[in-house]
């Protein structure tokens, strides 16, 4: 059966060492090339270039897990973890119509154009009806977790598609998605170097969606 995802990526932290070691980083701004950042993606905390990016300017760093605190300010019956992402709000000059990258964000598509539909791209502006609410925030400073060998998590933020399936023992590695400008896990059973996660259980997320329990092995 094809692996699918409804809405944005989710992470269930079964055993992430950063919660004990304090290897949590959240001071650098997000690369302006990224419009939507989902939990379960990976990024470089690239202090050398002064940003969180899918590209490593040093050539020797390892990517870190995107695990932002989930903040959904709409009524609970309208939202769930699948509706959360950091979604950039771009700006349009009312005179020229020129669109520029915004440096504020909303935490749910409910505040833009959709209903947590998992879109990779963001609209030009937030719904003006909602801009007075506190989920429109200034600045992008994603929270990244350093992962270590042995860490375990359950996630659905992996490559999806009609022909994509997973089985216990599959190796997953972070690969740059050129549409989202983020790193996303996908299968590579020939991998022997770099960051590698292995599927330990084909599972479900708490909301019943497809999920994978993964352990970092390299």
Q: What is the mean pLDDT of each run of 10 residues along the chain (218 residues)?
A: 92 98 95 92 96 96 96 72 84 75 71 46 46 52 97 98 97 97 98 98 96 98
**In which order are the strands placed within the sheet that holds 99-108?**
36-37, 84-92, 99-108, 137-138
Please give the pLDDT value at position 140. Answer: 77
pLDDT reported for residue 69? 93
**Whole-prediction pTM:** 0.88
Helix-strand-coil split of the chain, %, nearest 5: 5, 35, 55
Strands (E) across 59-163 are located at 64-66, 84-92, 99-108, 137-138, 144-145, 152-155
Q: Encode pLDDT of 108-162 as tens digits.
A: 766 544 434 455 555 444 444 444 444 445 567 899 999 999 999 999 999 999 9
- 32 and 105 in contact (C-beta within 8 Å)? no
Residue 98 near residue 125, CB atoms below 8 Å: no
What pLDDT is stored for residue 150 in this prediction? 98
N-to-C CA span, the chain: 28
Give pLDDT, residue 99: 72
Length reported for the chain: 218
Contact criterion met (CB below 8 Å) for 175 and 197: no
């Amino acid at each position: 059966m094809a692996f699918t995802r409804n809405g944005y990526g989710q992470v269930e932290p079964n055993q992430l060492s950063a919660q004990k070691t304090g290897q949590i980083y959240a001071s650098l701004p997000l690369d302006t090339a990224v419009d939507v950042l989902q939990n379960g993606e990976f990024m470089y905390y690239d202090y050398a270039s002064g940003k969180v990016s899918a590209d490593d300017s040093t050539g020797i760093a390892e990517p870190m897990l995107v695990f932002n605190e989930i903040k959904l300010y709409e009524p609970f019956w309208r939202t769930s973890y699948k509706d959360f992402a950091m979604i950039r709000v771009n700006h349009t000059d009312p005179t020229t119509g020129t669109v520029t990258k915004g440096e504020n964000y909303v935490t749910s598509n409910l505040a833009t154009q959709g209903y947590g539909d998992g879109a990779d791209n963001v609209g030009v502006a937030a719904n003006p009806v909602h801009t007075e609410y506190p989920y429109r925030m200034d600045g992008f400073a994603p929270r990244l977790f350093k992962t270590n060998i042995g860490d375990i998590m359950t996630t659905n933020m992996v490559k999806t598609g009609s022909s994509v399936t997973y089985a216990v023992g599959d190796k997953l590695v972070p690969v740059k998605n050129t549409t989202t400008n983020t790193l996303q896990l996908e299968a590579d059973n020939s991998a022997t170097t770099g960051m590698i996660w292995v599927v330990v259980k084909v599972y479900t997320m708490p909301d019943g969606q497809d999920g994978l329990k993964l352990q970092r092995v390299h």
